[in-house]
Structure 1
Amino acid sequence: MTRIGGDVVVETLRALGADTVFGLPGQHALGLFEALRRADGLRVVGSRVENNLAFAADGHARARLAANPEGAVPVTPMIVSTGPGALLTLASLQESRAASVPVLGISSQVPVAGLGGGQHGYLHELPDQQASFRDVVKSVYVVGSASQIPTALREAWTVAATAPYGPVWVEIPEDVLLAEAALPPLTAVTASPPPLEPLPELVAEAAKVLGGAKNPIILAGGGTLRSGAYAELRELAEALRAPVVSTFGGKGVFAWDHPLSARSWLEDWHTTEFLADADVLLVLGSGLGELSSNYREFAPRGRLVQVEAELGKLESNYPALALHADVRATLRALLPQLPARPTDGRAEAAVKDLLARVESRLDGQPLAAERKLIEDVRAALPEGTQSFWDMTIAAYWAWSAWNPDGLPIHTAQGAGGLGYGLPGALGAAAAGVRALAVSGDGGAMYGLSELATAVQHRLDVTWLLIDDGGYGILREYLTDAFGETTATELARPDFVTLAESFGVPARRSSLDTVRGDLAEAVRTPGPSVVVLPAVLKMFAPTHLKHP
């Protein structure tokens, strides 16, 4: 059988370590999908819409990273067609970029003659498609011949897997994908992402600053989680006797119930002041952006030491002793230079006091139903279940309140777009991970078509759909700001009947029965849906300085 350019793509992906590709066919990508059809050992998982396909690739990479943080960086390939198909992935790739998720996007293109202002009039043609992606992904590559495919994909894979991880984009013209390939079969293409090591002088200075701290505190961000620095963070916290606060993106990197865990109530003023009281705050893998700084209200009174793999985030919001490096590599270099402090119980007592004050604040608000819901959802899940949360009020609660020990959580708070929950969970299920999706009825409408994907690929996903009749969080924002709402109330289908029409078992639940209903749904093989009619409320605006 004649080998074509599409075969070179598939062979290269297999050699680089891919075993699953998320793909949606298009006219210009026929050569790629013919090559996928006849490839051995490469599973193709489709979707109904390209943005959901990209979310699924994101969820697949996150799930594999969470399941095996010591393994190779799990770059996940995604294949779409040019023009409309490619552009539909942009919002999803923005989430992958913001959350540092290694996705390799591959798009077909118009024939070579139509690139760069050449011939015009091709279907799906854009004057400069790559310009749409330059500020969204880490790097963009445009292939001009089959001979360029292996090294372009190898370089793109390497960039995606180099700290900070993130999406990359490769475009390959239609005629290159269909033309006979003169290259021999490829089996030995490898990628070796370079480690992002800290400068020794800066490590020594950081050790000096931390060693002299009287009240050190650690803020562990998403970069700590992505680097897999679980053991190193624990060793550092115990050596320094330093409390650890996790950002929303860093949830799970430090044990929730550890005596030094101050958890992740970042939108509570008590936690904001707790961090500000540190004489040395060690910020690991966070740029201290809007959410992590409690909407810019955080005002440190001590010194900051910041470790961050993304160069542009260093000191972008607060002055610091800044180390441009991978968190895990930095902690490994730092630990031998830090003498262990004796345990005197002061840090543990400070953590206990902080959490008691947070608890007291919540107790003073009528939020029993919301708090119980988070507890019930967690209690319904078997160990190892990974959950994927859309931008819904329940997710805003989960950012702070979810205990991630044994139950990793993934949210769309990187870029904050709607529609992430179900396709992200489908991607995880394609990686063999038991997955829960949580959406509101507004976000659910972005991805209802993917129930067909779940059925077609027999993906083991449970979808908790919380129906409050509209965009609940925006309803609260508008009401709080102006006393009225506009465009937040939504007509919606009978979600139970609709799910059943896809052949997906579904049930209507209540706040009193959701724990049992969800537990039963999770035990059901394949996709299932639990619809929970409920209007939830957020806790008080805790970024205000006065509780």
Structure 2
Amino acid sequence: MPTGGEALVAALEQLGVEVVFGLPGVHNLAAWRAFAGSGVRLVGVRHEQTAAYAADGWARATGRLGVALTTTGPGAANAVTATGEAWSCHSPVLVIATDIPTAQRVPGQYRGVLHECTDQASFFRPVTKEVVHVERAEDLFAEVLRAGRLAMAAPRRPVYLEVPTDLLRAEVDGWFEAPVPVGPSSTVLVDDAVGALLEARRPLVWAGGGATAAKAGGLVRLVAERIGAPVLTSFGGRGLLAPSAPCLVPLPPHAPEAGALWDAADCVLVVGSDLDAMNTQGFRQPRPPTLVTVDVAEPVTYPPDVWVAADAAAALLAVLDALPARRRSPWWHRPEGRSTYAGQETEFLEALESGLPSNAVVVADMCVAGYWYGAFGRVGGARGLAYPVGWGTLGFGFPAALGAALSRRPTVALVGDGGFLFACGELATAAQERLPVTVVLVDDGGYGMLRYDFTKDGEQPLGCDLATPDFVALATAFGVPAREVTVGGLGAAVADGIASGGPSLLVLRAAFGPPLSTSPRWYRAAGRG
């Protein structure tokens, strides 16, 4: 008879999962055995935090469910930080962890069982959509299906599934596909939204991660063209429109030229965005005279005049059907691109982009180079940028890129010397699994952003300068091809790394100043506009 571990794997197959990232432990070996011969690739990593980051990277690059598998106690706890990042950025991730055997669990007591916690699931409650605890082996198949579907349901966010280890070894009579949940059908009501757009003389569209999740980039463009509106995107909406799209504002909202368009608009259509603090410069972005929001979740930070509670694609289709067919002339002029901020950072971005195919995914860490690409890089397509702007978790870039690298899209990790060391041991994973990821490591000898935070106030930096290894030698020791590059040679080196089909590391020694998208440089901050 099949085991609970086999039921778990069968449920993942039913969910269409192609890859799972995990680390084996004594409590989850029955699940590891069940992956043998299945259609799911199991990628073993060197740390459980990487398992969740990689699952997040896969989810961001593909739009599909990312899965991380950990063992009990410290193994599960190691995944919490990465789960929090997935939560804040609306990534559909399923974290599966084992718990101690049911026969050894005494509610309310800690008895020193290996890896025991009194309430392991409590680690995850603040950073997940739901906690699912499986109590019977017979329920495993259905509960895994439910948890995976819940993570993928809008608004997407991580779900934590906990399985006592003895249930994975237990025999089950069989499993059956759980019924596909069918939500109530409803007509999307957009009359008030369309009325507000038609009354506006200076409409503007702001698109975010919800539009990305709904694959609504083309619809965003069509609506914007129909009403003559500029399109601003949050970090979650980067790549929704091609860089050449005439309606796209080629600057982040943190640039004064882009912010001036928001300020001049008399009606803003927000599509799938939280309008969070990072994108609105600490909520200093003024509320427009009329605000129309399309989102499955009720807006919180900027209460709208009209809320269309629907999937972005469904709502925009209804809006298009109701709008007059004739295009309205744009009321705005497209601002200059990043050339306004010309300097070595712009030269770096142009060099990097020259080596990127249009379908590339750049996974940027919380480093100065990552800040520049996240705000000013030309993202070729939807899901072309993975950026930890939610929690701001330093060390995200490299391990998340390991998951994105399996998306069949060319993948580049853009990291700094400080954040890369959080997970440099995963070079072993990249080499062993032959993961096609090109790492661009910008080495400025420490935490460049923190160094700036000190020096901008005339203070002496403390704790910002780091003793770093020879990164080329380090990668080579793991069997990963590596070399130092200049800005002039960066594009060709990136193209070579991608063409190799395996992992590679490029080290660029450079120190950049932070862009306008970083909080010390927000122009809307007190006293500066």
Q: TM-score range by the shorter chain?
A: over 0.9
Residue in 2 that maps onto 1:177:
168
Q: Distance in 1 between matches of 2:304 and 2:457?
A: 33
Residue in 1 that maps onto 2:333:
351
Corresponding residue to 1:337 among 322, 340, 353: 322
Following TM superposition, by how much is the alpha carbon of 1:32 offset from its aligned partner in structure 2, in angstroms?
1.0
Q: Which amino acid aligns with 1:258?
A: A
Give the root-mean-square deviation of aligned CA atoms.
2.1
Other structure's SS at 2:333 match: helix
Residue in 2 that maps onto 1:281:
268
- Percent identical across equivalent pairs? 34
Q: Distance in 1 between matches of 2:476 and 2:14?
A: 41
Q: Which runs of 4+ in 1 moved over 6 A?
A: 195-198
Other structure's SS at 2:20 match: strand
Contact 2:203 2:268 in 1 (8 A): yes
1:323 equivalent to 2:308? Answer: yes
Alpha-carbon distance change, 195 to 129 in structure 1, aligned in 2, over 3 angstroms: farther
Q: TM-score, normalised by structure 2?
A: 0.93
Q: Distance in 2 between matches of 1:195 and 1:428?
A: 34
Other structure's SS at 1:124 match: coil
Other structure's SS at 1:106 match: strand
- The 5-angstrom pairing of residues 212-231 of structure 1 reads 212-231=199-218
- Gaps spanning 5+ residues in structure 1: where? 66-73
Other structure's SS at 1:135 match: helix
Following TM superposition, by how much is the alpha carbon of 1:319 offset from its aligned partner in structure 2, in angstroms?
4.5
Q: Distance in 2 between matches of 1:219 and 1:170?
A: 35
1:126 equivalent to 2:117? Answer: yes
Q: Distance in 2 between matches of 1:190 and 1:64?
A: 25
Residue in 2 that maps onto 1:96:
86
Other structure's SS at 1:530 match: strand
Q: Which amino acid aligns with 1:371?
A: T
Q: Distance in 2 between matches of 1:310 and 1:477?
A: 36
Q: Which amino acid aligns with 2:314?
A: A
Other structure's SS at 2:225 match: helix
Q: How many residues align?
A: 521
Other structure's SS at 1:54 match: helix
Residues 424-433 or 239-248, more deviating = 424-433
Contact 1:22 1:44 in 2 (8 A): yes
Alpha-carbon distance change, 194 to 418 in structure 1, aligned in 2, over 3 angstroms: farther
Alpha-carbon distance change, 64 to 444 in structure 1, aligned in 2, over 3 angstroms: same
Q: Distance in 1 between matches of 2:379 and 2:120?
A: 40
Following TM superposition, by how much is the alpha carbon of 1:481 offset from its aligned partner in structure 2, in angstroms?
3.9
- The 5-angstrom pairing of residues 265-276 of structure 1 reads 265-276=252-263
Q: Distance in 1 between matches of 2:195 and 2:358?
A: 41
Other structure's SS at 1:449 match: helix
- Gaps spanning 5+ residues in structure 2: where? none
Corresponding residue to 1:456 among 417, 432, 449: 432
Other structure's SS at 2:143 match: helix
- The 5-angstrom pairing of residues 2-401 of structure 1 reads 2-37=1-36, 39-65=37-63, 74-113=64-103, 114=105, 116-117=107-108, 120-181=111-172, 183-184=173-174, 186=176, 188-189=177-178, 191-192=180-181, 194=183, 200=189, 203-311=190-298, 314-344=299-329, 346-347=330-331, 350-352=332-334, 354-355=335-336, 359-360=339-340, 362-363=341-342, 368-401=343-376
CA distances 1:38-72 after superposition (whole Å, capped 9, x unpaired): x421211111011111111111122222xxxxxxx
Residue in 2 that maps onto 1:402:
377
Alpha-carbon distance change, 533 to 172 in structure 1, aligned in 2, over 3 angstroms: same
Residue in 1 that maps onto 2:400:
424
Corresponding residue to 1:485 among 461, 484, 488: 461
Alpha-carbon distance change, 263 to 247 in structure 1, aligned in 2, over 3 angstroms: farther
Contact 1:261 1:351 in 2 (8 A): no
Contact 1:158 1:191 in 2 (8 A): no
Alpha-carbon distance change, 268 to 93 in structure 1, aligned in 2, over 3 angstroms: same
Q: Which amino acid aligns with 1:282?
A: L
Contact 1:24 1:46 in 2 (8 A): yes
